[in-house]
């Protein structure tokens, strides 16, 4: 069991994942303050993270919308629920930490 969890973490949390997750989490953290909106923002972050690498290159290459939609529909059945859950937890953590950091930086005593 422990081996499966560490393999899953090693597979999911890569440098490529961080290159997508850091800017998306930072952007989404600007709009949240409490834990429930953080969780909703994490769902949006996971959706952007899953759809972004497929849609962005296709749109930039000028492919038609039907091709992009067929790529997305082919990708959806191949998604692993464990990977999605780990992405959700990681995005929740990142968004919450960035939100707390942003709030702490702009407190009144930070200017002293």
Q: What is the DSSP string of 19-44?
A: HHHHHHHHHHHTT--SHHHHHHHHHH
pLDDT at 112: 53
Number of Cα atoms under 13 Å in the Cβ half of residue 16: 7
pLDDT at 109: 64
Other beta carbons within 10 Å of 43: 14
For the chain, the C-alpha Rg in angstroms (whole number) is 17
Domain boundaries, the chain: 14-107
DSSP designation for 62: T
Is the pTM higher than 0.75? The answer reads yes
pLDDT in tens, 31-42: 898 889 999 999
What is the percent of the chain with per-residue pLDDT over 70, rounded to a whole number? 91
Q: How far apart are CA 8 and CA 13, in angstroms?
A: 8
């Amino acid at each position: 069991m422990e081996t499966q969890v560490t393999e899953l973490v090693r597979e999911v949390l890569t440098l490529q994942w961080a290159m997508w997750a850091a800017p998306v989490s930072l952007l989404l953290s600007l709009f949240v303050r409490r834990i429930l909106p953080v969780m909703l923002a994490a769902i949006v972050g996971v959706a952007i993270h899953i759809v972004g690498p497929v849609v962005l290159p296709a749109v930039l290459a000028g492919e038609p919308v039907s091709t992009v939609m067929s790529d997305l529909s082919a990708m959806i059945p191949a998604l692993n629920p464990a990977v999605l859950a780990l992405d959700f937890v990681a995005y929740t953590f990142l968004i919450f930490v960035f939100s707390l950091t942003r709030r702490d930086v702009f407190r009144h005593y930070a200017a002293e």
